[in-house]
């Protein structure tokens, strides 16, 4: 008898509700994410996609519900536990969020220094490896102001990778980039999965990119998840997704 083994989810969100004052962002949403998956969160602007990413890493606290990321609930974690979680979960921010006053090298090793790594040789080695991985070996001593949008995103990715995380959260990684750089970032996200078995959660409006890289899509609208499934299945048979792709989907 063939037994199908279901992998254990590494992220479980159960009945999550988020609000800012009177504004309700998420209304009791639930989903699971498995090791090595690339899951893209789609949805109209202002539906709380970025808020959801930030909730997963403990930057925003939910109103109610349960979150479990690698066995830790970021909303209830002590500062020490939260720190331990953040070593395992990296984030690439929308504008890369590089520290302006620090060089590319200092940006990349920032998290490692915070974790107590003081050996300069180790730091140089890790920064060199991560920059090589994103194809920017020559940029160690440059400042963020001297980088293009795509280069900033790649340095941001190298910084997120420096602490060897299991999960990386991408907030609009390809927004504002030219098609070649979009393809480059897409390939980097795919390589994270294929070479490093890293789980990626991507928030994007770029349907082409989302189709290319994702195993699964979640459609977030009006505070709830209205579609969740493998990409080909959703594109072929889910009217919500079809309307969203065709631009005939409205958020109320």
Cα 241 to Cα 13, 72, 216, distances in angstroms: 22, 32, 12
> Cβ(212)–Cβ(231) under 8 Å?
no
127 in Cβ contact with 105 (< 8 Å): yes
User: Which CB atom, from 98 or from 225, has the smaller least distance to other proteins?
Assistant: 98
- Of positions 62, 65, 90, 223, contacts other proteins by CB under 8 A: 90
Rounded to whole angstroms, how far apart are CA atoms 170 and 188? 12
Q: Does 94 bind other proteins (CB under 8 A)?
A: yes
Q: How many CB atoms lie within 10 A of CB 126?
A: 20
Which residues 6+ apart lie within 8 Å of 89 measured at CB? 56, 57, 69, 70, 165, 166, 167, 168, 169
Q: Determine if 223 is a binding residue for other proteins (CB under 8 A).
A: no
The CB-of-196 to other proteins minimum distance in angstroms stands at: 19
Residues 163-202 that bind other proteins (CB under 8 A): 163
Question: Which residue among 78, 100, 145, 252 contacts other proteins (CB under 8 A)?
Answer: 100
46 binds other proteins (CB under 8 A): no
Maximum separation of any 2 CA atoms in the chain, in Å: 61
Residue 99 interacts with other proteins (CB under 8 A)? yes
Residues between 104 and 163 with contacts to other proteins, criterion CB under 8 A: 110-111, 114-115, 159, 163
Please provide residue 38's backbone torsions phi and psi, each rounded to the nearest 5 degrees: -110, 110
- 65 sits near other proteins (criterion: CB under 8 A): no
**38 versus 108: smaller Cβ distance to other proteins:** 108
CB nearer to other proteins: pick between 27 and 87: 87
Tokens of 220: 């977030």
Q: How many residues bind other proteins (CB under 8 A)?
A: 22
Q: Does 98 participate in binding other proteins (rule CB under 8 A)?
A: yes
- What secondary structure does DSSP assign to 137-163, as a single string? GGGTT--GGGS-HHHHHHHHHHHHHTT
Contact between 49 and other proteins (CB under 8 A)?
no
Q: Does 59 engage in binding with other proteins (CB under 8 A)?
A: yes
What's the min distance (Å) between Cβ of 59 and other proteins? 5
Of the candidates 194, 240, 195, the residue with the CA atom closest to the CA atom of residue 215:
194
- Of 51 and 227, the one with the shorter C-beta distance to other proteins is 51
Tokens linked to 100:
């302006």
Token pair 């720190």 in the structure block, residue: 83
Residues making contact with other proteins (CB under 8 A): 54, 57, 59, 83, 86-87, 89-91, 93-95, 97-100, 110-111, 114-115, 159, 163
């Amino acid at each position: 008898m063939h037994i199908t083994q279901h992998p254990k989810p590494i992220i479980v969100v159960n009945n999550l509700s988020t609000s800012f004052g009177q504004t309700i962002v998420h209304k009791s949403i639930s989903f699971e994410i498995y090791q090595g998956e690339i899951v893209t969160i789609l949805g109209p602007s202002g539906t709380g996609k970025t808020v959801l990413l930030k909730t997963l890493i403990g930057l925003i606290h939910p109103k109610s519900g349960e979150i479990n990321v690698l066995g830790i609930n970021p909303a209830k974690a002590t500062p020490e536990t939260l720190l331990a979680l953040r070593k395992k979960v990296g984030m690439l921010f929308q504008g890369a969020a590089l520290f302006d006053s620090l060089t590319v090298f200092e940006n990349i090793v920032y998290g490692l220094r915070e974790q107590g790594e003081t050996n300069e040789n180790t730091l140089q080695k890790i920064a060199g490896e991560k920059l090589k991985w994103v194809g920017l070996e020559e940029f160690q001593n440059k400042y963020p102001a001297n980088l293009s949008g795509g280069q900033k995103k790649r340095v941001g990715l190298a910084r997120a990778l420096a602490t060897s995380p299991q999960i990386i959260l991408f907030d609009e990684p390809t927004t504002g980039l030219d098609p070649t750089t979009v393809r480059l970032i897409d390939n980097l996200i795919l390589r994270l999965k294929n070479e490093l078995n890293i789980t990626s959660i991507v928030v994007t409006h770029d349907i082409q990119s989302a189709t290319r890289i994702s195993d699964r899509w979640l459609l977030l609208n009006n505070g709830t998840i209205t579609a969740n499934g493998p990409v080909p299945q959703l594109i072929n048979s889910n009217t919500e997704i079809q309307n969203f792709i065709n631009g005939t989907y409205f958020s109320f």
